[in-house]
Structure 1
Amino acid sequence: MAGLNCGVTLPLLGVLLLGAVRLTRGAAFEIGLPYGSGITVSISPGASPLPPGKPCYIFSRKMATSLVIKSGETKGFSFSCLNPENYFVIEILRNIDCMAGPCFFGEVQLQPPTSQLPTLNRTFIWNVQAHKRIGLELQFSLPRLRQIEPGDSCPDGVTHSISGRVDSTNVKIGTFCSNGTVSRIKMQEGVQMALHLPWFHPRNVSGFSIANRSSIKRLCIIESVFEGEGSATLMSANYPLGFPEDELMTWQFVIPPPLRASVSFLRFNVSNCERKEERVEYYIPGSTTNPEVFKLADKQPGNMAGNFNLSLQGCDQDAQNPGILRLKFEVLVQYPQHESNVSYVVDLSHERAMSLSIEPRPGRQSRRFVPGCFVCLESRTCSTNLTLTAGSRHRISFLCDDLTRLWMNAEKIFSCMDHRYCLRKSYPLQVPRDILQLPVQLHDFSWKLLVPNDRLSLALVPAQKLQQHTQERLCNASFSYLLAGAGASPGQDLYFGSFCPGGAIQQIQVKQNISVTLRTFGPSFRQEVSRQGLTVSFIPYFKEEGVFEVIPDTKSKVYLRTPNWERGLPALASVSWNISVPSDQVACLTFVKERTGLVCQTGRAFLIVQEQSSAAEEVFSLEEVLPKPSAHHHNFWVNISNCSPASGKQLDLLFQVSLSPRTVDLTVILIAVVGGGALLLFALGLIICFVKKNRKKKRNKALAVGVYNGNGNTQMPMQPKFPKAPKDIDPHVYAVIEDTMVYGHLLQGSNGSFVQPEVDTYRPFQGPVGDCPPSPPPICSRAPTLKLAPEDPCPGFSPEPESEPYTFSHPAKCSGGDGNTDVPLLHAHEAEQPGE
């Protein structure tokens, strides 16, 4: 009895153990393929490597990492792990030979059905071989296909890969996702269709059918059907690799009425052709020139109504250097716009060195369909960007639902290379009327003004005085001028700033080439276009980077700042402001901050304030504390000269000028009169003493200490005018015996050498004050810095004193002049010959 029980128990135990093993291995599968079906099923490791500690295997009679089931075979198998979809993929290949016998046509089924397959990432491949004269057509039911670039993924993970054949070479037609416009693909000589399904996708149909068609005599034809507004992006075969040599590919577009289609080439390359020429051809309904032939670099047709075809034709390529022919383009379909029937003429036939670009305004990208904005030349050649050049008349129209999505940018060059011809000539900087009449906002209009180096400079005179845009006083006009100049060396480019009408700047002079950009803000510019206007004049060359002529308004403060505000004034650059003060006003000059924070690596940085009615200059070091607010009763200069700043330091100054009525103090007048009388009596006394002393010296037979220069100018050096003297005589030379010659024995040191006193350099007066901006001291000068005495910021302004103390004088050297302190800087330079 015990033996019987033992015999029964052992088989039962074996069955239980086998069930436990199968339970740990996962579910068992069995796949049987009919004989002659041409189907092969392969299970192989996927992209993810097998786990090192817990390997996953396939059990089918024996343990393996792959399994192949051929036509006419049936195999059962299971996996040793519970998640085989992470490590294995399954491929179902079906070969259809249309050359040996009748082909299978109609709707394609998934064989074996997905219910019999393990839950792995699976790929169904249909490989159809056909004769060269047989055309095969793949028809896709809804949803249609959308082409993507190789390597991109589809949202649902379902991908279609389609390839054709040229002789024995496979040509990839493209990779596609669902939810697109591609409804049919026709090929010749064979096709390979691959459907990639993720393991979790429940799809159990192929979604396409195969039909037999006549020869298409080209690589393929792709049909794209639009049922409403939308867009489609399509690519040439083998994209992004090269299109097959000397092949032809066609796209057919179905556009229902009343929609319009426009084509834009997003990216293309051309190969090196030995024979023929690469091109695209359009068959457009109603066209009398079909086919319309375009180069790939041409603007492509737009605003097309009805169905049309687009074909890409290759060429015979150079065997040594074939190059790459590829094309990626977009077809945008939308309802016609009202502007599409309105044309505008832009006459640039009389313009030179000018271009006008109409382009999309930068904006946020939207995932939903947005109708495109196209500019059409002669109503047919449309693109998102259009550039019109000078010398021709252009007729344009717009295919756009919202013209505010477009704007215009223009550029014009004024170039003068012969300074003798351009000197003192003036030219207006105005926007042509044909541009202003277009229904698109003008964004930028730039004038590039070019002059010969060290020969000419430029003067800009606005139609209305300008205001400089600062944080303290913002521009609120509908347009402004952006001024940017080019420095003498790299790194010295100057951005002078942004200027709008309604300020105090009457003229801007710049040393060298400059770009003037008119920038508009909103549609209100059309109502204020009459305020726009600049006149540029070519003037004699000067060395300062810029000179601003400022006429302040009594009603508001004027804020001015140095160029290159964000990056700092370039090294060794100098800028001046010529500030006019009315006779009945007093100007208060105030610097917004107390210190610049500047540290000079080489040289010195100076601020010079000079009253134009005298030779006095106030010189301040910009590495120290800036001056307190100061009052000025006459026109004055403000000059800022930079050094070579240390790394990380920059010079940027902001100052303001305000006017207030001049007041007269009777007490000051009485003091001035009494003081003047006392001064007169004192002068008479000095004269009497001087005469007596001279008489006494004549009687004295001792040797004279001074030497009289009879040929020199005896006028005092600080007088504003000098009589004319011959060129070989310097009217400013005085012969004086130095103190060291008379009192040298007092300066001898203990070793017998002379101790030299530290002296400053005196620079004599060289011309009428006011013609030129103040000249900064030499970089190596040790001139003392004169600071204003601390005072309250212009509390009502003190009356003008009768006499001004001499502080520090070294005006710039200017040629000629008649002593008129009101002569502008431009006239002061005209006496010089350019380049001398």
Structure 2
Amino acid sequence: YLGAHLSVGFFSFPYFSEFDIFLPHRDNITVFIERGTVPPPTNACNIIFQRRRSFTLIIKPGERAIFSFDCPDPAKHYVLEVQKSIDCMAGPCPFGEVQLQPSRLPALNRTFIWNVKASPKVGLELKFSSPRLRQIRPGDTCPDLVTYSISGSIEKTAANIGTFCSNGTISQIKMQGGVKLALHLPWNQNRNFSGFNITNRSSIKRLCIIESVFEKEGSATLMSANYPEGFPEDELMSWQFVIPPYLRASVSFLNYTLSNCERKEERVEYYIPGSLTNPEVFQLGDKQPANMAGNFNLSLQGCDQDSQNPGALRLLFQVLVQHPQNEGNKVYTIDLRSEKSMSLTIEPKPLRTNRHFVPACLICEGPTTCSPNLTLTSGNKYEISFLCDDMTRLWVHAEKTISCADSGYCSRKSYQLLVASDIIQLPVQLRDYTWKLLVPKDKFSLQLTPAQKLQQHTHEKNCETTFSYLLASAVPGQNLYFGSFCPGGSIEKIQVKTNISVVLKTFLPGFSREAFRQGMTVTFIHSLKDEGVFTVTPDSKAKVYLRSPNWDRGLPPLTSVSWNISVPNNQVAHLTFSKERMGVSCETGRAFMIIQEQKAKAEEIVSRDDEPLPKPRDLHHNFWVNISNCSPMNGKQLDLQFCVSLTPKKMDMTVIILAAVGGGATLLFALGLLICYAKKSKKKKVGKGPAVGIYNGNINTQMPEKTGKFHKGRKDNDSHVYAVIDDTMVYGHLLNVSNGSFTGPEVDVYRPFQGPMGDIPPSPPPICSRISTRKLHPEDPLPFFLPESDGEPYTFSHPKSVEVKGNGDNDIPLLEKKELEDIME
């Protein structure tokens, strides 16, 4: 490895292996050795030639050079270039395989360049033996660092055809006129063959023709000359593809730009087997042919460009060759003519990169117009098919916008959030369907009513359906995520204050079987104060778990959310919070949690951010749960989760017994009193007794605000008129009639109001104290609620007489004084 020292005068040079290069004159080869692109430190390594140090060495035809390097690693410092000129104009071309000459070169990164001069009317053909070439994009490198660079010349102007690696489909490249080919080899590559040969052909009348041969499934990425720079003006370039008859080819343009044409038109032309209109002309913006059987040609034609603003024509495209798929025989109809503001995209799922060829999945409109992605828009009808060996590699995204422009029209109309059957019938997975619901600010809010009651996804109870709804605010800058919901729960409706995004997201392939469970009705309602209101009707057989919005990030500052929870008459709700405190630290303001039953004079149970949450409790009526956030500190956010379960209502036996005894005693007392009254009545003279007046309820009974405002006196109105009936018609059922044929009148009882109560959720208390608000201490006993039924009759005691001042119109006796004295007796 290390050589001896050679002394020349008073200099001594350490030298390593010597190299001897002789270049015959007839070979027309020149060798250049020079520093690499990254200059090393001065005197780090030198070329020793003729006992002199130098940084370059040029060996011309007919010369011999013996040289060495004074460093052990010259490959780090120097590169070698071999240039060979072939003149096919002065004499015959040396056709056949091109040899790598000279041999026994130093182990440096080296480049072999062949400059072939030929007449512009002569076509030269470069044939590449196995392995064939594969074109790469500028800036890419080959795995083995063995690279071919090919360029041509047009009227003394070079045109870069491309850069190529091994292991591809390109078998030959035909050039018009001269050609320059460079082979780049790394220093450790012991290759001794060029891999191509040159033959002479007739004129091809275009810049070049690239032939690509497929023997099995695969793909090839190709590009126009000078890519990514502009294609030469008014030039023509072609590609020939050889496809086995049992395979199908599809073309897709990955990137292209157009130049500014003064004359002619930029276009691509196809010669497709079996076509009756060859050549078929396409614009670069058109969808390119697909599912082609047999060999075909593709040509790119430029135009005469504007000299002041030429622009740039460039094209990058891909050819996919694969087996025909059975799905290609099925046609699916998607009718979006009745839709508005909707788009649907079918695209491949993201896959991990694989060095092996994977057949493409294409979506086709018609027999040959196919592409990897297809976007369908509302107002149109489509018929599509698929060229795909595995339909699970595709999925569908859909999006629709529903907005309210006319408030009067919106308030009377409802909208359905429903995935149409045309989309469900596709053989690909529906990844998601997004509805953006937009309303005028502070004028309307939104109400979502699902086709089936929803369950909120929590850790305690996961959604097990094939799809779920994701609800989030669609207001720019508002980071509010209401949660994930799926069918099979207790949430009957969801009301949101402003714009919202509803995303139906599928997780399992069986969505088509569960599609009957999807669907929501959207209506526009009066503007809400809370950001969200959830109406919940719990199932008596299952626990309901509910959590606040933005569970993972915390409720946004100054946001209020409410839950309206129904409790059946014969049930008791058990409310439990998942933790003892809210967990939020307020920077400004206070956070509140409020529980309020929806009954008359119901107390609000309030917990602040600095107080414990209520302990588990039973609630007998419909109730509200409201949370209102403060402006929290970073890291201490508000998130609440609670559980509601129902149990049958149990009646206290002591209350039942006391009620029965008390009721029986009251009944006996009333009977005795009435019997005494009946006996006294018989002692009176024969004839009808005094009449009993029934109060006329059709008059205005409201107390006047000021004296003298009630203009109509008693003599002028009908307030003193009574309908007169016999007293026996009122109390006759208590008389002991001997024949038992008397039929008593019906007796009415008061029943409580059965209508809705508590439609408005409780509001958070102000910062100051609230007298009517009860704060629950964790050690306080739970309030005792008497079981009561909404159908239980009420009993009223006799009111005490109250003197009313006025003009006498409201002082109306119900019974005469004498009759009252008789009754009291």
Bucket of the pairwise TM-score, normalised by the shorter protein: 0.7 to 0.9
How far apart are 1:78 and its partner, in Å? 2.3
CA distance in structure 1 between the aligned counterparts of 2:501 and 2:438, rounded to whole angstroms: 9
1:50·1:56 contact (CA, 8 Å) conserved in 2?
no
Q: Residue 516 of structure 2: SS of its match in structure 1? A: helix
Aligned residue type for 1:246: D
Alignment counterpart, residue 564 of structure 2, candidates 558, 573, 578:
578
Structure 1 gaps, min length 5: 1-13, 677-708, 714-766, 804-836
Alignment counterpart, residue 554 of structure 1, candidates 518, 540, 543:
540
CA distance in structure 1 between the aligned counterparts of 2:128 and 2:352, rounded to whole angstroms: 34
Equivalent in the alignment of 1:39: 29
Equivalent in the alignment of 1:528: 514
Equivalent in the alignment of 1:183: 171
Aligned residue type for 1:229: E
Alignment counterpart, residue 544 of structure 1, candidates 530, 551, 576:
530
Structure 2 gaps, min length 5: 664-702, 708-754, 790-825
Alignment counterpart, residue 298 of structure 1, candidates 278, 286, 300:
286
CA distance in structure 1 between the aligned counterparts of 2:241 and 2:253, rounded to whole angstroms: 16
- For each residue in 1:421-449, what CA deviation from the matched residue of structure 2 results, as whole angstroms up to 9, or x when unmatched? 12142222222111122111112122222
Aligned residue type for 2:448: L
| Match status 1:60 vs 2:50 | yes
Alignment counterpart, residue 800 of structure 1, candidates 786, 789, 792:
786
CA distance in structure 2 between the aligned counterparts of 1:545 and 1:340, rounded to whole angstroms: 49
Aligned residue type for 2:644: V
Q: Residue 530 of structure 1: SS of its match in structure 2? A: helix
CA distance in structure 2 between the aligned counterparts of 1:185 and 1:483, rounded to whole angstroms: 58
Residues 711, 339 of structure 1: CA spacing in aligned structure 2 closer, same or farther, 3 A cutoff?
same
How far apart are 1:270 and its partner, in Å? 3.1
How far apart are 1:550 and its partner, in Å? 0.2
Residues 105, 792 of structure 1: CA spacing in aligned structure 2 closer, same or farther, 3 A cutoff?
farther
How far apart are 1:634 and its partner, in Å? 0.3
CA distance in structure 1 between the aligned counterparts of 2:260 and 2:559, rounded to whole angstroms: 52
| Match status 1:198 vs 2:186 | yes
| Match status 1:500 vs 2:494 | no
CA distance in structure 2 between the aligned counterparts of 1:437 and 1:798, rounded to whole angstroms: 57
Identity of aligned residues (%): 65
Equivalent in the alignment of 2:627: 640
Equivalent in the alignment of 2:355: 367
What is the TM-score with the length of structure 2 in the denominator?
0.79
Aligned residue type for 2:430: L
How far apart are 1:768 and its partner, in Å? 8.7
How far apart are 1:712 and its partner, in Å? 9.2
Alignment counterpart, residue 621 of structure 1, candidates 608, 615, 619:
608
Q: Residue 232 of structure 2: SS of its match in structure 1? A: coil
1:627·1:787 contact (CA, 8 Å) conserved in 2?
no
CA distance in structure 2 between the aligned counterparts of 1:792 and 1:320, rounded to whole angstroms: 89
Moved more, 395-404 or 535-544: 535-544
2:593·2:627 contact (CA, 8 Å) conserved in 1?
yes
Residues 328, 712 of structure 1: CA spacing in aligned structure 2 closer, same or farther, 3 A cutoff?
farther
Equivalent in the alignment of 2:336: 348
Alignment counterpart, residue 598 of structure 2, candidates 612, 615, 619:
612
CA distance in structure 2 between the aligned counterparts of 1:290 and 1:498, rounded to whole angstroms: 55
Equivalent in the alignment of 1:661: 648
Residues 400, 365 of structure 1: CA spacing in aligned structure 2 closer, same or farther, 3 A cutoff?
same
What is the TM-score with the length of structure 1 in the denominator?
0.78
How far apart are 1:243 and its partner, in Å? 2.3
CA distance in structure 2 between the aligned counterparts of 1:178 and 1:22, rounded to whole angstroms: 46
Residues 424, 618 of structure 1: CA spacing in aligned structure 2 closer, same or farther, 3 A cutoff?
farther
How far apart are 1:61 and its partner, in Å? 5.0
Give the aligned CA root-mean-square deviation in angstroms.
3.0
How far apart are 1:798 and its partner, in Å? 5.3
Aligned residues: 698
Equivalent in the alignment of 1:519: 505
| Match status 1:256 vs 2:244 | yes
CA distance in structure 1 between the aligned counterparts of 2:309 and 2:649, rounded to whole angstroms: 83
How far apart are 1:337 and its partner, in Å? 1.0
Residues 55, 118 of structure 1: CA spacing in aligned structure 2 closer, same or farther, 3 A cutoff?
closer
Q: Residue 122 of structure 1: SS of its match in structure 2? A: strand
CA distance in structure 1 between the aligned counterparts of 2:412 and 2:499, rounded to whole angstroms: 16
| Match status 1:74 vs 2:73 | no
Moved more, 382-391 or 45-54: 45-54
Q: Residue 25 of structure 1: SS of its match in structure 2? A: coil
CA distance in structure 2 between the aligned counterparts of 1:791 and 1:321, rounded to whole angstroms: 84
CA distance in structure 1 between the aligned counterparts of 2:293 and 2:123, rounded to whole angstroms: 29
Aligned residue type for 2:518: Q
Residues 672, 217 of structure 1: CA spacing in aligned structure 2 closer, same or farther, 3 A cutoff?
farther
- For each residue in 1:382-413, what CA deviation from the matched residue of structure 2 results, as whole angstroms up to 9, or x when unmatched? 11111111222211111111101111111222
| Match status 1:107 vs 2:81 | no
CA distance in structure 2 between the aligned counterparts of 1:376 and 1:15, rounded to whole angstroms: 75
1:42·1:92 contact (CA, 8 Å) conserved in 2?
yes
Equivalent in the alignment of 1:209: 197
CA distance in structure 1 between the aligned counterparts of 2:659 and 2:607, rounded to whole angstroms: 30
CA distance in structure 2 between the aligned counterparts of 1:126 and 1:541, rounded to whole angstroms: 79
How far apart are 1:649 and its partner, in Å? 3.4
CA distance in structure 2 between the aligned counterparts of 1:226 and 1:39, rounded to whole angstroms: 36
2:491·2:534 contact (CA, 8 Å) conserved in 1?
yes
How far apart are 1:293 and its partner, in Å? 2.8
How far apart are 1:219 and its partner, in Å? 1.8
1:58·1:67 contact (CA, 8 Å) conserved in 2?
no
1:482·1:499 contact (CA, 8 Å) conserved in 2?
yes
How far apart are 1:176 and its partner, in Å? 0.8
1:456·1:540 contact (CA, 8 Å) conserved in 2?
yes
How far apart are 1:89 and its partner, in Å? 1.8
Aligned residue type for 1:99: M
Aligned residue type for 2:249: A
Equivalent in the alignment of 2:266: 278
Equivalent in the alignment of 2:680: none
CA distance in structure 2 between the aligned counterparts of 1:88 and 1:365, rounded to whole angstroms: 36
- For each residue in 1:298-338, what CA deviation from the matched residue of structure 2 results, as whole angstroms up to 9, or x when unmatched? 32221111111222233344444443332222211111111
- For each residue in 1:91-141, what CA deviation from the matched residue of structure 2 results, as whole angstroms up to 9, or x when unmatched? 1101122333333322212222x23x2222221100112222222111111
Counterparts of 1:50-199 in structure 2 under 5 Å?
50=40, 52=42, 54-112=44-102, 114-115=103-104, 117-199=105-187
How far apart are 1:466 and its partner, in Å? 0.5
Counterparts of 1:408-487 in structure 2 under 5 Å?
408-487=396-475
Residues 32, 455 of structure 1: CA spacing in aligned structure 2 closer, same or farther, 3 A cutoff?
same
CA distance in structure 2 between the aligned counterparts of 1:478 and 1:414, rounded to whole angstroms: 25
- For each residue in 1:719-764, what CA deviation from the matched residue of structure 2 results, as whole angstroms up to 9, or x when unmatched? xxxxxxxxxxxxxxxxxxxxxxxxxxxxxxxxxxxxxxxxxxxxxx
Equivalent in the alignment of 2:574: 588
Equivalent in the alignment of 1:650: 637
Equivalent in the alignment of 1:630: 617
2:290·2:368 contact (CA, 8 Å) conserved in 1?
yes
Q: Residue 526 of structure 1: SS of its match in structure 2? A: helix
CA distance in structure 2 between the aligned counterparts of 1:379 and 1:792, rounded to whole angstroms: 77
| Match status 1:711 vs 2:705 | yes
